[in-house]
Every structure is written in structure tokens, then in C-alpha cells.
Chains A and B, each alone.
Chain A
């Protein structure tokens, strides 16, 4: 049995197939050791023999965000020890003299240089001496390092020196991350930070994953553990433990994959994913005609560039918990400060400053009795009293609340413009797929502002990430910087070497992978590349892609191949979602009450639907509110909602 378990957030979500039908189990997470909830979930599901446990984890994410990883020693070519901290010598805040970046992951004293040098062409100019390597080992041992990151200049062009150094360090008995294995690509800073993050996570993640795998194997005969990577593909526990940098955004990647799969089944090939939580919102764009979700090699997590492939997810600091206040010039601002879980929004009973969630409650969009299935009662009276006191010069408290929502939505609208309009996509061609607790509250307003014609609230919105993990293929990415003219013969050798490694690794997992080849290409003199499938017409494809992305192309200009890439994919057995025949219905049976909800300054009597009582084919017009366990959907006047064959809610926005 295949079971996906996602441990992000308050709940641990399990999705598994029972007689071909996906089932959901939700348990409270166990943050002290997330594996406890995983094992507890498995016990309740009773998966029988040979269970495949697919895990989405935030252990790595949290360690990076909270800077709670290992003490890492960084080893590089002598003279370049500081490059991992100097970065691109730019500052993050242009107009703030007091801004200080997060502390470096490798402080001075833990950065070590080796007298050695490889040049761009791969020739060894100087090899490290045995005596120096001995001294290096002693120094690192004395430093108290718990893991080592080795990234020598041009090690991707010829790894001989780096191998020598790393093998010497292996004697210390702590994990050693090697740049020519993790990321054999040029640009020393981004490579070094990637390898450092890997080392930073390797003791903790290694321990966590091995522990989980041991427990699963002990309790469930033939059990194996796999882990979701930030790239949207699954990998074995063993590889995940060795290369934890690939799992830093494991959970959000599951969400994007889930949204994409569900939307495709429902017939929508181009989607904008909109995942709004308590403190932040993730947006992403997927176009099936471009082969599915985009990965990027330019992610930055908590100030650290991470250059292994990750799904292209853009995050902004606006969520349900974002705080509203007036600035010294009298304008209302919302976020990026958040009420968090302590004190939380006013309506939870302890917070005193208004948040986006409070504004939703005050306008009637959230039902005080139906929040988390009634498990938490929202305090309407307290919210109204405190918002009256904080509404500043605004006349009516409803107006204040509506303003808070408008501002939060303006921030999210900007985020969606960044991933769509600014990259040459027209939002009118897309469907907005919303998830996360707060997504469906705001989706229709956002869709209207951006002229997105349609909103899809997926079936199983509370377990979309786990569903994405359940559906994901096994994926391994390999790359190498080659920096050479586009000569097919030379490229073939590089591809063959990467594929050999890929097939061997897949075989070791008992899988058969299919390799796909691509190249990163640019015009000579440029500092950025485009990824193009490797084929006889790759150059024509490059010029075309360049024109589409950057508005021009020049077929006379010399091009060069910067990187070669191989992606090995072992397709997962497809998961089909239960499909039923829609009948004509108006959803009347699901209306549990009527409530006054404010739209455009006017309170209107609005039916509240219980999502679990809705049936396939039910169609109704806004205004409407649809409540379910972990989310609330707002259907404004003028929009019309329909429950499709998969029990997704599809809202046409006018």
C-alpha cells in the first residue's frame, strides 16, 4: 500500500489508497518528533505488508529557518574562505541602515582554506599536500564541527583535488558533503551555500530519516520510506538522508503537485496555485503544455541560495494572521508582521491587534461556530469591540475590516503578477487553484482583480499536499557545468556519464528510470541561461525560447552550452480520484443556515453551505459561503459555483 504523510502545520495529513480510492486521515502533529505522528498514522491505517510510506517533511525547512542545524566547517581553496559569506556583495534592504542579515551559517573560525587549485579547463595547477591535509583534519576536529562542506574552485571541472580533501576528512567520522556530488556547477558562491546547507542539515535529517525508516521497517513488514523533494519528485530515504538540501521545501512542493494533478483531472491545464496560510502565502504557476511544473535553480531560503532544482514557488508575507495598523502618515498597512499562534488573532481570545482573520470574521465570512468543525469557537464580540477601538479615522468598523481584506488582497495580487505577468503569462489563460486554510476566502476577489476567469477549490483541500506526494513520480536530477560550444559529440559523453550514474542509482532502489536530457544555453557574453531539451533542433529551440522569454533572438550570435542536465524519472502508478456522475442540483440540501455577510459595503443574507452535504452537479450563485473542516470558501455575488465530477468546487468569476 502507498501512503503519503505530510507533517507540516498543526495537522499531520495521511492520504492512502483503499480499494483504489484515496482516503484521508488527519492527526495532530507531534512537533517534538514529527515521526511519532507518522507512525501513529500508520498504526491507524494498518497498511498490511510492504507499505510504501511517502513523507513530506518540514524538519529541514525548520532547521534552516530557525538556524538550528549542525555546526558546519567549510573547506575551500585558500584565499576564498570568505566567499560563502560575502555572497554577491549586495544588501537586501536598500534604504535601511539598521538591517542586519541572518547570522552566517559558517562563522569565521569554521572556514578553512587548502593550498590547491584547478583551472577552468580542468587542469590541476596545484594538488593539496598530505601534510596540509593532516593539519586540516586536526584543525577541523579541534573546531568542534559536526559536519563538513567541501567546495573547491572548479571542482566540477575536475574533482580530483576535492576527492582527496574529502577522503582525508572522511576519517573524522562526521558527514562530509562534496560539491562535485551535490552540485557540480559553476558559480562558487551559490554552489558553496548549497553544499553548506546540505552539511548543515545532514546530521539532523540523517538521524531523523534513518530513525523513521528503522521504526517503519520494524513495525510494518517490508516497509520502506521515501521522501518528497523540493523539486516535486520522490526519492528514497537513503538518498534523502545523504542529500537533505533537496528536501528543504518538501511540503510546499507537495501542495503544488497536488493542485496540478487535481486541476488536470478536472480539465484545467494551466493553473496558478494560491496557498494562503497563517503567516505567508505561496504562489506558483504551472502550464501543462510546458511539461508541468517549472523548477528553478535560483531559490533562496532564509537568505541562503539553494541551486539544486526546486519548484518555482514565490512567497509573500501576508496570511490570515497578518497584523493591520496605521503608519505615521495615516495610511493603513497589513503585514508583514504576523500575530502568529501567540497571541494569535483577536477572535482566538488573546490577541489585541486586528488581523486578516478578524476582518473575515467581522464581515461574516467566517462562521464562529463552524471553524475547524466547531472545535475552536471564534469570539465575535471581542473582535468587534477591539476592532472598533483600533479602526483609527475610518468611520465604520465594517469599512475598516473590508479595507484590511483589500490590502491583504493587493499584496497577494502583486505576488501573482510577479509569477505571471512579469514572466510573460496572461492570467486570463489560467485557473486559480486555492488551498491552505485561508486561500478559498480570498480566491474570488483575487481572480476578479487579475481577470482570472475561474477558481478551483480542490476536493480534499486540507490534504492536497499529501495527495500531491501520493501522486508524485520518483525523480533524480543530475547536472554538470561543461561550458563548451554546442557540439553534439562532446555533449554525448557528458550525458552518458550522468545517465550511467542515474541508472545505477535507480537500479539500487529497484526501479527503472527513464532519462531525459536537457542543456542550459546562452549567448556568449550573457550571464544567464535558458534550459532547453537536448535534441537535434536544440539551437532553434533556444532562439525561439529566448525570443519568447526576453523578446528577441539573434541567430548570428555564438551560443555556448553552460550545463548538461539529466532527469531520471520512474513514473508512479497513477492515482485516480473517485469520479461520480454529476446530477442537476441546486445544493439546497447543504444549506445549514443563513447569515449576514458584507459584500461591497452591504450586508446581504447569505446561505452557508456545508461542503460535506454538497453533491456532484450542485450549482448555485453567490453570495454564498461554503464551510468545511479546515477551510471556508467565499462565493461573492455575481459568481457561480458548481460541484464537479470529482467534488471539486469550480467557481466561474464574472
Chain B
């Protein structure tokens, strides 16, 4: 390995500084955005790219955006000529997006009348509604056209002026235009903060030195990844798993992967050949989701402070067959691919990786975000309401320790809503919020336990569920037992119970409760008598 030409001190300072630009963009977005989804649940990401579109810094935000942000930037830069003061907007999942609610803005950073931008900055946020058939734009659709407004890369600003026409076009297609306008404006603000800080950096370092530092940062990240790949055993490692169903038919859906390591070239090739074709329901994963999942898994092999740059993925290739479940093409519906399928792709990758490096990866985690939407008319004031939450589950056991219980894993890290906040805001009474003891798989180390959340509705309501791992358990590793599957039950006011399928929409009467029991994580290693 060649010793770098740039000195290790300059590199370290630059790495830290450029990362703080992305973090500061994120802080601005959180501070100025309107909706709780961005502010409280923190569903957003900000990143900095070089003039060629290579990611050079990403804030520690949403893992599912890791690989897909760069693709959105690439799509915008390829489709448009971005002049100074222009900003691109897009959300097309088939152009680097994840699902329609995630809207991305891309701003080129020009310095001193240069002909081409020295950097790009991008900010992405999950918007609470982008139109379509269902409020919240996360419902069980069959085609992307039903899921909401699809925005190809277009300019939302020209030479510093907002394009009112484009903005009006977007706002007239969503249910909550005032809130959307506020959030979109704060995304623009966050890009401008990034732009200002990058200009300051150029003034401090000079263009030439910056260019050298960027190259070195990318090379450095590549070295970090290659150092890990060199430790991997040579060979091909395969794994597969199935999703319960797509919510339209009850047919299981297979995801298959092979990871081929070549330590002599310090590289890896990931191939999803053998995965089922795209499905009729809304849980198809677009290519950028699959890429993000791969990026996430390999990123986790490195130390926590490794920079999330394009250099990390240079030694890794990815093949996902076109029109497959992990590289869906239009007009497939994709809203749930971001939340459910992304998690399963990670677990399948981990299962393959465990064959190569059994002591480096955890067993399967709960593998679902248990997306729960409750809507209806609030009997207290006659107003309509819609509530959306995700419920965490058990983390897979680690080769050195039990899995964590009741925690969001892998591609998400959003927060819950406090029980007391919920009962103030909605006609609900929460009956239980607890661990689900014994749901983690047994093993030398136990899988983390899932959660139980039971909510009584105080008026008639419609409940929509998008969940997984109701039929097929989270796997254990190295002899560990699988975690318990999840359950969703309606408890009627007369005490009778009704078990719901993984994905459904049902009417509940006043006094009924919905009880979600989330899956536990898989165990690791053969159980010994002592820990039974």
C-alpha cells in the first residue's frame, strides 16, 4: 500500500471538518423544519459531494440513505445543467430515491466564477405526505402512480430564485401544502448553510489543496475498507431468506445473495441472482435501497468513525437483477421497500457474511419496523386524525453478548412517541408498552426481546399494518435458536381476539384494542444449560 502524499494530520483535520459541514446542514434542517417527522423522529440526511458527484461526507443520520443519496445526486447532475444559484429537487425512487416521501434537494457549490461546481451538497427529508391514494403516502398500493407525486430531477430554484411554478405544482399534489412548503424551504436553507461553509473552506485552504485533500480522503476511506476485506477468507458465501408476503397474495418472497471475497485484491462482489421477481404489493426494493443495505453492512465492519465517502464502496461491486424484488422497475409500488425489505436485505447479507466471518456479525434482528397507521374521526372534537408509528423489536444476539431488546436496528433509528403525548393528541388509551419476554432466540447469547404495544381506540378507527416476520422467524447463528415471530391481534371489547395478517387494513370499533407483539432477535451459539 502506497504511503499517502498528503500528510496524515491535514487529512484528519479535513475529514473532521468536512463531516461537520454535513452535520451542520442536518442541524439546520432539524432546527428549521416544521414537521415532527423530521424534528422528532429525525428522518432525514445531509451530505457533501465533490465536483464529480462522489460522496465525501455524510452526517450520522439515516442509514437507509447512505447509498441512495449519491445516486440521487448523480441522477440530478446527469439530467440537469446546474448553474450557480440553481437547486435540483427529486424524489423518484427509480432515480436514486428510496420511496416517494423522501424528497432530495441538490445544490451545486461554485467558487469564484469557476466553470463547474467544486462541490455539491444535498439534503433529504421524509415528508409526512406526498399525495397518492392514502394519507401519509405509505399505504398498500399496487403501482407507483398510486403512491403519490413522482418528481423527476427538475430545478426548484434558478439563479437563486425559487421556481414558484414547480413549487405550486408539487404543493397542489399533497394533502398538507403549508407544512410541506415549510419543510422544503428548510431543506433549501440547509443546502445554503453547506454552501457557505464549503466556500469558507476553499478560502482557507485554496482550491488546489482542497482537490488534493478530497482525493486523499477518498483514497483513505478505500484503504480502510480494503484493510478489512484483506482479512476476509477467499471464496463465495451464499445465503437466502424469505419475506412473509407482499400483502396481495400470501406467497413468500425469496431474497438470495452471494458475497465473493478476494483477499488478494482486497475486494468483494455481491450478487443477488436467485432473488424472486418484483411483486404486485408495495414492498419492492429499488436498486438504491439494495445498494444502501450493502453499504450499511460493509460500513459496520469498520470502526465507528470511518467516514461515509464514495471511497468506501470502491472495492465492492453489486449486481441486482433487473425487475427482481431487489431492483424493481416501474411501475412497481415501492413505499414499503424502504422500511421492510431494506431490513431483510441486511439480514440476508449478514447471514452470508456469517459464513465468512462468524465472529463479526449478529444473528437476525426483528426484521420489520411494524409500521402502524391509525386513522379516523376524533370523538373529542370531530376532527379527522391520522397517526403513524414504527415499533422496534429484538436485536440479534452478538458473538460476544446478548442482543439488545426493544430497539430499532440497522436501516432505521427513529424515536417512539411517548405514551402520555399520544393520549393527549389522539383518541387512544395505551394498555401496555413492555418487553416481550422470551421472544429472543435462545443461545449461548440470547437474541434481544421484542416489544408489546397495545392501543385501545376510543372511537371507531381504521388500522393499517405493514409488517413482516409474522410467518418466518428471525434466524439464529452458530447454533443459536431463531427469534419468535411477531403477532398482531385485535382484542375486541368483549374479550374475543382476532389475529391479523402481516399486511392489512381493518376497521376497529370504539373500545377495541390493537396489540402488536414484535419479533425477537435470533440467538447466537448453542444454548448451554446454565442460561436456560
Q: Is B414 an interface residue (CB 8 A)?
A: yes
A551 with B36: in contact, given A330-B220, A406-B9 (CB under 8 Å)? Answer: no
Of B4, B16, B305, chain A has the most CB atoms within 10 Å of the CB of B16
In the complex with contacts A119-B429, A330-B8, A80-B434 CB distance below 8 A = yes
Asked if B433 and A83 sit within 8 Å, CB to CB, the answer is yes
Question: With A89-B406, A91-B413 in contact, do A393 and B432 touch (Cβ < 8 Å)?
Answer: no
With a CB–CB cut-off of 8 A, which chain A residues contact B224?
327-329
Choose from A95, A97, A190, A411 the contact partner of B63 (Cβ within 8 Å): A95
- B52 CB–A CB distance under 8 Å: no
CB of B169 within 8 Å of the partner chain: no
Cα–Cα, bound, A422→B220 (Å)? 29
B7 beta carbon closer than 8 Å to chain A: yes
The yes or no answer to B362 lying at the interface (CB within 8 A) is: yes
Docked-complex contact A80 and B432, CB < 8 angstroms: yes
Decide if B401 touches A100 in the complex (CB within 8 Å).
Answer: yes
Within 8 A of B (CB), among A374-432: 392-394, 399-400, 402-403, 406-407, 410-411, 414, 417-418, 421-424
Using known A-B contacts A97-B398, A153-B420, A421-B24, determine if residue A89 contacts B392 with beta carbons closer than 8 Å: yes
- Expressed in whole angstroms, the Cα–Cα distance for A421 and B28 within the complex equals 9
Is the C-beta of A115 less than 8 angstroms from some C-beta in chain B? no
| Interface size grouping (class) on chain B | 35 or more
Report how far A321 CA is from B418 CA in the complex, Å.
40
**Are B415 and A90 in touch, CB under 8 angstroms?**
yes
Whether the pair B432, A89 counts as a contact (CB closer than 8 A) is: no
Stretch in contact with the other chain, from B255-263, B296-304, B319-327 = B296-304
B268 within 8 A of A: no
Cβ-defined contact, A90 with B413, below 8 A: yes
Report A-chain residues with C-beta under 8 Å of the C-beta of B305. 333
CA–CA, A314 to B492, complex, Å? 49
Q: Is A326 an interface residue (CB 8 A)?
A: yes
Whether B31 sits at the interface, judged by CB under 8 Å, is yes
Q: Is B317 part of the binding interface, using a Cβ–Cβ cutoff of 8 Å?
A: no
Q: Indicate with 1 or 0, residue by residue over B1-33, a CB within 8 angstroms of chain A CB atoms.
A: 001100111011101110010011001100110
Check B36–A327 contact: CB distance below 8 A: no
**Does A44 sit within 8 A of B, measured CB to CB?**
no
A96 & B32 in contact (Cβ 8 Å cutoff) = no
Q: Are B227 and A328 in contact (CB under 8 A)?
A: yes
The closest CB in chain B to the CB of A189 belongs to B418
Which of A90, A154, A407 contacts B9, CB < 8 Å? A407
Q: How far in angstroms is the closest Cβ of chain A from B15?
A: 6
**Residues of chain B lying within 8 A (CB to CB) of residue A326:** 8
Q: Which one, A21-29, A128-136, A258-266, A520-528, is touching chain B?
A: A520-528
In this assembly, does B435 line the interface, its C-beta being within 8 Å of a C-beta of chain A? yes
A332 to B4, CA, bound (A): 13
CA distance A200 to B490 in the complex (A): 39
Residues of chain A from 87 to 111 with CB closer than 8 A to chain B in the complex: 88-91, 93-101
Cα-based distance from A394 to B3 in the complex (angstroms): 11
Question: Which of B8, B178, B227 is packed against the most chain A CB atoms within 10 Å?
Answer: B8
Q: Which of A90, A94, A327, A422 contacts B31 (CB 8 A)?
A: A422
Contact A94 to B407, CB < 8 A, known contacts A79-B431, A89-B392 = no
Cβ of A188 within 8 Å of any chain B Cβ, yes or no, is yes
In B221-279, the 8 Å CB interface with A consists of: 221, 223-224, 227
Contact A95 B413 (CB under 8 A): no
Q: Contacting A550 at CB < 8 Å: which of B32, B223, B409?
A: B32
Cross-interface CB contact of B421 among A85, A97, A186, cutoff 8 Å: A186
Interface Cβ pair total, 8 Å cutoff: 185
- Chain A, Cβ-Cβ closest to B223: A329
Closest A residue, CB atoms, query B63 = A94
Determine if A528 and B39 form an interchain contact, defined as CB atoms under 8 angstroms apart. yes
Q: Is the CB of B11 within 8 A of A80?
A: no
A421 to B392, CA, bound (A): 34
B304 touches A96 (CB 8 A): yes
Any chain B CB within 8 A of the CB of A612?
no
A188 in contact with B418 (CB, 8 Å):
yes
Docked-complex contact A79 and B36, CB < 8 angstroms: no
B408 within 8 A of A: yes
| Complex interface bits, B402-418 against A, C-beta within 8 A gives 1, otherwise 0 | 00111111000111111
- A572 within 8 A of partner (CB): no
Chain B residue contacts of A190, Cβ below 8 A: 418
**Contact indicator A549/B420 (Cβ below 8 Å):** no
Q: How far is the CB of A94 from chain B (nearest CB, A)?
A: 6
Beyond A83-B419, A95-B304, whether A330 also contacts B451 by CB under 8 A is no
Residues on the A chain within 8 Å of B9, using CB:
332, 394, 399-400, 402-403, 406-407
Q: How far is the CB of A84 from chain B (nearest CB, A)?
A: 11
Instruction: Say yes or no: B300 contacts A91, CB within 8 Å.
Output: no
Bits for B38-70, please: 1 = Cβ < 8 Å to A, else 0: 011000000000000000000010010000000
Is B105 in the interface zone, CB < 8 Å from A? no
With A330-B4, A410-B16 as contacts: A97 and B420 at CB distance below 8 Å: no
CA–CA, A93 and B361, complex, Å: 15
| Least Cβ–Cβ distance between B44 and chain A, in angstroms | 14
* B362 contact from A97, A327, A332, Cβ within 8 A: A97
Residue of B nearest to A86 (CB): B406
Q: Take A414-B16, A551-B32 as given contacts and tell me if A527 and B434 are in contact as well, using a CB distance cutoff of 8 Å.
A: no
In contact, B39 and A154 (Cβ under 8 angstroms)? no
Residue-wise, chain A 512-526 has the 8 Å CB interface mask toward B (1 for contact) of 000000000000011
Chain B contacts of A93 at CB under 8 A? Answer: 304
When chains A and B are docked, how far (Å) is the Cα of A411 from the Cα of B16?
A: 8
Docked complex Cα distance between A81 and B405 (Å) = 14
Q: Contact at B433–A86, with CB atoms within 8 Å?
A: yes
Taking CB atoms, residues of chain A closer than 8 Å to B413 are 90-91, 94
CA distance A86 to B407 in the complex (A): 8
Is A594 positioned at the interface, with any CB of B under 8 Å from its CB? no
Interface residue from A80, A95, A100, A330 paired with B404 (Cβ < 8 Å): A100
Name the B residues within 8 Å of A402 (CB-CB). Answer: 9
Q: Mark A330-352, 1 if CB is under 8 A from B, else 0.
A: 11110000000000000000000
Instruction: Judge if B388 is at the interface, Cβ distance under 8 Å.
Output: no
Q: Which A residues between 474 and 502 are near B, CB-CB below 8 angstroms?
A: 483
A187 at the interface (CB under 8 A from B): yes
Contact A120 B420 (CB under 8 A): yes
Indicate if B34 sits at the interface (CB-CB under 8 A). yes
A213 touches B (CB below 8 Å): no
B366 to chain A, nearest CB (A): 11
Q: Which residues of A contact B330 (CB under 8 A)?
A: none
A393 touching B434, Cβ below 8 Å = no
- Report the nearest B residue to A557, measured CB to CB: B178
Contact of A329 among B39, B182, B221, B432 (CB under 8 A): B221
Chain B residues whose C-beta falls within 8 Å of the C-beta of A414 in the assembled complex: 16, 20, 23
> What's the Cα separation between A423 and B28 when bound, in Å?
8
In the complex formed, the residue of B with least CB distance to A88 is B415
Q: A95-B299, A331-B8, A550-B31 are in contact. Are A89 and B424 (CB under 8 A)?
A: no
Complex: A423 Cα to B32 Cα, angstroms = 10
Task: Compute how far the CA of A407 lies from the CA of B154 in the bound complex, rounded to whole angstroms.
Answer: 41
Is there contact, CB below 8 Å, between B220 and A331? yes
B373 contacts which chain A residues (CB < 8 A)? none
Kindly state whether residue A82 has any CB partner on chain B within 8 Å. Answer: yes
Assuming the contacts A80-B433, A331-B15, A393-B8, asked whether A91 and B20 have C-beta atoms less than 8 A apart, the reply is no
Q: Given the complex of chains A and B, what is the CA–CA distance between A85 and B27 in angstroms?
A: 27
Closest-CB distance, A135 to chain B (whole angstroms): 20
A189 to B408, CA, bound (A): 17
Residue among B31, B186, B221, B420 with most chain A CB within 10 A = B420
Smallest CB–CB gap between A106 and chain B, Å? Answer: 13
Contact in complex: B24, A97 (CB < 8 Å):
no
B-side contacts of A393, CB under 8 Å: 3-4, 7-8
6 sampled A-B residue pairs with Cβ under 8 A: A88-B416, A89-B415, A91-B409, A394-B9, A403-B8, A407-B16
16 more contacts with CB within 8 A, not counting A86-B405, A95-B299, A552-B185, are A86-B433, A89-B391, A91-B413, A97-B300, A154-B420, A327-B224, A328-B227, A329-B221, A331-B220, A332-B11, A399-B7, A403-B7, A414-B23, A421-B24, A525-B36, A527-B421
